[in-house]
Structure 1
Amino acid sequence: MEDIVTPRRGGVVYLLAWLFLGCALGSVITLTSDTPLINAMLFAIPMHLLYAFAAGYSAYYLCRAFPLGGRRAGSILLVMTVAAVVSGFLWLLMGSVWNALCLLPGVKWSGMVITPQLSALIVGLGMLLYGFAAAVHYLVTEFVRAKNAEQRELQSMLMAQEAELRMLRTQIDPHFLFNSLNSISALTSMDPKAARRMTLELASFFRQSLGMEAHKKVTLGEEMVLIRHFLAIEQVRFGERLRVQESISAEAAACLVPPMIIQPLVENAVKHGICNLPDGGIIRISAHRAGSVLQISVVNPVDEDMSAVRSDGHGIGLTNVRQRLSGAYKHEAGIHWGRREDSFGVDITMPAQTGEEGE
């Protein structure tokens, strides 16, 4: 009863339904006997309103005591049948007492004759209404349970995504940090200005990555700021061997993406591409919006052996990105990668969302 009556609208609908049934029973009594309409209504309506609370609360507690799936279906059906039969006869008893009060001296005009046929109708109707109340309570209980389960699943997904982001940050290639510190150490005596610049870029990179933790989505422009810090650090290490070309449209830069979704791809491009080529090469990063779709591409040169390994899908970064896209967008996003002549490319498609459209 609590699940139905507690909300104001649900309580009003519940009482109106029982009031309608009371009027219907009063009309039946008038049509099948010589009872005046006002007498029949005075008998039927109070009975239904009283039974609405009595049967409702009884069914509510029985449904709580015998939940679906918690007991055998046969035992639940037996308990509800017995409860319905008892409620039907108690309802008849209440009706008889109420009718007797209406037949007291001074108010005899409000009473009526309860025939055996009417008694059977009241008992049968009481059983049906009790069963209906129990069915409603079971439906409401299952609906609330399903809704709570959905909320718990959603919370679990959000927690999993946050954990994935934290894990991704901890999975940043340790060699990146170690190599950066070693480069800073070497540059301290050779080129202090370059060492200072690299130190500042390294600090900016980790400050930016830590700042993304509080957001479920960031703009592609913010993601590119992090990537530029990363590439600036790597350029100190690789010098002219590492060159970058960006092609980011203004519409794409305003779109929301999961934080640190592109950084692993650029890191792979340096680690598996530029690092293994004596002459280095160009990393091309492009992003464009095509209607409701955001298209992102990262292309880098690779040697033949490395391209074969990555095209088979053995990259941890690629797998991580694919899982995060699936968790954030389900089937609406996708990632594809493979060798393109002497280069390796990764293409991401996802829904184009902006701050105004919501995350």
Structure 2
Amino acid sequence: MHGIFASWRATALYLLAWLMLGLLLAAMLAVSGAGWGASVLFAVPLALWFAYAAGFSAYYVCRAYPLGRRRPLAIAAGVGMTAACVSGLWCGMGAVWNSLLSALAPDGYVPVASGPVLASMFGLGLILYGLAAAVNYLLIETERVRQLETQRLEMKLMAQDAELRMLRAQVDPHFLFNSLNSISALTSLDPAAARAMTVQLAEFFRHTLGLRADRKVTLGQELQIVRHFVAIEQVRYGDRLRFDTAIDPAAGECLLAPMLLQPLVENAIKHGIGQMIETGLVRIEATRAGSILRIRVENDVDPDSVDGTASARGTGLGLVNVRQRLAADHGHEASAHWMRRDGRFIVELALPAVTADEPHPEPERI
């Protein structure tokens, strides 16, 4: 079923409206001199018949003459000719129905369908068919908009999946290469550390390979991935790398895009701690302030680094990727800023604080 008859609720409302029109037509006939019984018996069945005829034919006529693809004159001609044919058929059915009622109940039925009545039915049929066509055009356009919105959401999801795969493609190869080299070196020097690093590496990829762009993760789950990543890097950097977190319990339940923090921590280690000789700290702080989740990732940097280095600039792919993902998910409601201050590189994120038990607001689009 299509158009007005696409669902039983729409069909019931549509037929109820036509039943009211049939009763209105019967009242007009009764006022003009026909009896109430004869008028109702004549008008209501014809109104319901016209409802089906107009509803089905108008849908296919509207599909054959779509708005925006046909000239207005062609649309008017197509709908007008069909309306005239259906209205003429309605009048013919009215005459036949009137004759049939007269034959079946010659004593109890007063003939209703006179010439003026049939002419009025024809004019009313043209108007009602035009209204049915307008309703079908509205339903068709609504369905088209809904399909376009569905396609837009599907394309957005595909883009997010592609973005997540691209992020994995950036992280996995060199990270896996470095980790395997470290495991190989530790195998003979420190077998226990090599086994521990292997377990951490397996845990990291077990978590990341199961991620999907259409499923948010809690901040607590994201931090588990980060901790596995840091544990692996700590085997490589040893005591040079320290890691700390300060997470508000309310913030830990908030949802965010998967692997949103991992690129920030990777940048902090690679461009911050990796460029230092002394011990460096990577710290993650998260608080929830009402409807806003604030996350701060900061790390020590080499005080002797000059502007133009990767650590000083902080405009690597990881930072740009995080900003773009926040914009795609939350629009203007989220932000990402970074700066270098007092020997530390700081990244601050702000995004809507939403948990699994709270409604997800629709982001404001540009």
TM-score scaled to structure 1, two decimals? 0.91
Alignment of 1:204 with 2:215, yes or no, is no
1:139 paired residue number: 138
- Superposed, which structure 2 residues align to 1:21-40 within 5 Å? 21-31=21-31, 33-40=32-39
- Offset, 1:96: 1.6
Contact between 2:335 and 2:351, CA under 8 Å: does it hold in 1?
Answer: yes
C-alpha distance in 2 between matches for 1:207 and 1:312: 33
Deviations 1:286-314 (A, max 9, x none): 11112222111101122443677567663
Q: How far apart are 1:21 and its partner, in Å?
A: 0.6
Structure-2 residue corresponding to 1:185: 184
Contact 1:298 1:347 in 2 (8 A): yes
Whole-Å separation in 2 of the counterparts to 1:215 and 1:126: 50
Alignment correspondent of 1:102: 101
Aligned-partner Cα distance in 2 for 1:136–1:117: 29
- Compute the displacement of 1:128 (Å): 0.5
Q: Distance in 2 between matches of 1:199 and 1:10?
A: 61
C-alpha contact (below 8 Å) 2:35/2:110 kept by paired residues? no
1:16 equivalent to 2:19? Answer no
Question: Are the structure 2 counterparts of residues 306 and 218 from structure 1 closer, same or farther at C-alpha, using a change threshold of 3 Å?
Answer: farther
Given the alignment of the two structures, is residue 321 of structure 1 paired with residue 325 of structure 2, yes or no?
A: no
- Residue 127 in 1 paired to residue 126 in 2? yes
- Given that 1:235 and 1:242 are in contact with CA atoms closer than 8 Å, whether structure 2 keeps it comes out as yes
Counterpart CA distance in 2 for 1:119 and 1:213 is 65
* SS across alignment from 2:346: strand
Structure 2 unmatched runs, 5+: 361-366
Return closer, same or farther for 1:344/1:106 CA change in 2, 3 Å cut-off: closer
3-state SS in 2 of match to 1:244: strand
Question: In structure 1, what is the equivalent of residue 64 of structure 2?
Answer: 65
Sequence identity percentage: 50
How far is the alpha carbon of 1:238 from its aligned partner? 1.8
Aligned length: 358
Distance 1:192 1:21, change over 3 A: same
- Quote how far apart the aligned CAs of 1:14 are: 1.1
Q: How does 1:289-308 map to 2 (within 5 A)?
A: 289-303=288-302, 304-305=305-306
Shift of 1:121: 1.5
Query: What amino acid is the match of 1:337?
Result: W
SS of the equivalent of 2:338 reads: strand
For 1:270-309, list aligned pairs within 5 A.
Answer: 270-303=269-302, 304-305=305-306
Q: Name structure 1 gaps, 5 residues minimum.
A: none
Distance, in Å, in 1 between the alignment partners of 2:290 and 2:312 is: 29
Letter in 1 for 2:320: T
Cα distance between partner residues in 1 of 2:135 and 2:145 = 15
Match of 2:220 in 1: 221
Q: AA paired with 1:12?
A: A
**What is the CA-CA distance between 1:271 and the residue it aligns to?**
0.9
Contact 1:307–1:339 (8 Å) recurs in 2? no
**What is the distance in 2 between the residues matched to 1:172 and 1:257?**
19
Equivalent-residue separation in structure 2 for 1:315 and 1:340 (angstroms): 18
Letter in 2 for 1:238: Y
1:176 aligns with 2:156: no
Aligned equivalents of 2:314 and 2:197: distance in 1?
Answer: 32
Contact 1:310–1:338 (8 Å) recurs in 2: no
Look up the equivalent residue of 1:48 and give its one-letter code.
A
For 2:206 and 2:118, locate their aligned partners in 1 and report how far apart those are by CA, in whole Å. 80
The answer to which of 112-121 and 37-46 deviates more is 112-121
Partner AA of 1:111 in structure 2: V
* Counterpart contact for 1:30–1:36, Cα < 8 Å: yes
Equivalent residues of 1:103, 1:110 under 8 A apart:
yes
Name the stretch that deviates more: 295-304 or 204-213.
204-213
Residues in 2 aligned to 1:289 and 1:106: alpha-carbon distance in whole angstroms: 80
Matched letter for residue 325 of structure 2: R
What do the CA deviations read for 1:19-69 (whole angstroms, capped 9, x no partner)?
Answer: 1111111111222x2222222222211211111112222212212222223
Q: 1:337 to 1:147 in 2, by over 3 A?
A: same
- CA distance, structure 1, for counterparts of residue 107 and residue 318 of structure 2: 88
Instruction: Name 1:330's counterpart in structure 2.
Output: 331
Deviation (angstroms), 1:215:
7.1
Q: Is the Cα–Cα contact under 8 Å of residues 265 and 318 in structure 1 kept in the other structure?
A: yes
Aligned: 1:339 with 2:336: no
Identify which range, 74-83 or 296-305, moves more after superposition. 296-305
- Relative distance call for 1:261 and 1:113 in structure 2 (3 A) is closer
Q: Deviations over 1:281-340 (max 9, x none)?
A: 211211111222211110112244367756766311112112222232233322111222
Q: Give the AA of the match of 2:352.
A: P
| Equivalent residue, structure 2, for 1:152 | 151
**CA distance in 2: counterparts of 1:169 and 1:348, whole angstroms:** 21
Are positions 1:357 and 2:347 aligned together? no
| Residue identity matched to 1:25 | L
* Alpha-carbon separation, structure 2, partners of 1:215 and 1:91: 53
CA contact (8 A) 2:293 2:352 kept: yes
Using the size of structure 2 for normalisation, the TM-score is 0.89
